[in-house]
A = this chain, B = another copy of it.
């Protein structure tokens, strides 16, 4: 049996953090893996403050992504490659970790250049919604590239992972054998991988938690306290789980309720995180999300409010909006002028 070749498609903050772990694990398993770990880097010229030069050259000379993960030494076998086709050449395990808006174009470039039997793993948050169709990115990658694709998500602030602070993550695998290889690539003493047979559940957690983080930010802005915030997080978690169970096959409740991808990532997103922060400012100031994204994030777009909108349009097409009152409230508050204080109206229900 030949050795496996891993490639990382993407090189932002999270991709670079992952390259540190994967690079080291690959070096420690020379019988299983080719030593070289190519990382596709969208080429850019660094400005003078960062010393100039091309980003790929700087990464390969300094073994540091000075732009997106400064201060963290990357293993020397991580090689920045500006051409995506060159990066993936010969790869048998592909990690997709790029902003979701670039995925479609990247897939188009890769079509016909991925060898049969290659395995994929997506770390991309969000879901692809078109009218009454909802698709996780793992399924999109599988369909478009004809490969098996698993999904990773968890309570994973990239800088903390890169600094080797204790973290957990969840991989939802397509089959156990692939899951075990992904674990050998990514698991470490300070980054504990848990395997679960639930690609869709893991993917949905990473998308839907951003809606709940917006709701949690509203509560912070209203200064309603810890009881209300915990209540909103609980209600949001249950809606996330119910959504998964209603619209996807073979999704497991435990993915949402017991895994790092579910309850734990929800906690980090609602305690800190940018979706929470912008939503807090929204509740305090009454400014729009667009304005606040400009003011607070230099125009960078957040996924929370956008996901709330997409999920709302999907639920409308299914006539199921009312079954998810918190998701509904977040959408209507963010986009339709609904009063922020009404966020709790109808969300807390008991069977008796």
Contacts and interface: CB of A to CB of B under 8 A. Distances in A.
Contact of A168 (B157, B161, B227, B268): B227
A63 interface: no
Q: How large is the interface on A (under 10, 10 to 19, 20 to 34, 35 or more residues)?
A: 35 or more
Interface in A254-300: 257-260, 263-265, 267-268, 271-272
A167 interface: yes
B271 A157 contact: no
A328 interface: no
A351 B227 contact: no
Given A155-B227, A230-B268, A237 B260 contact: no
A176 B352 CA distance: 8
Interface string A214-248: 00000000001111111101110110010000000
A279 to B, nearest CB: 16
A230 B267 contact: yes
A227 to B, nearest CB: 4
Contacts of A19: none
Interface stretch (A81-89, A115-123, A191-199): A191-199
B258 A160 contact: no
Contacts of A194: 348, 350
Contacts of A195: 350-352
Contacts of A268: 226-227, 229-230
Contact of A160 (B180, B225, B259, B352): B225
A234 B168 contact: yes
Given A183-B352, A234-B259, 10 more contacts: A155-B231, A160-B225, A163-B225, A168-B235, A192-B350, A193-B350, A226-B271, A229-B268, A237-B263, A257-B258
25 contacts: A155-B226, A155-B227, A155-B234, A157-B226, A160-B227, A163-B225, A165-B224, A165-B227, A168-B227, A168-B231, A183-B350, A183-B352, A194-B350, A195-B350, A226-B267, A226-B268, A226-B272, A229-B268, A230-B260, A233-B267, A234-B259, A234-B263, A234-B267, A267-B267, A271-B271
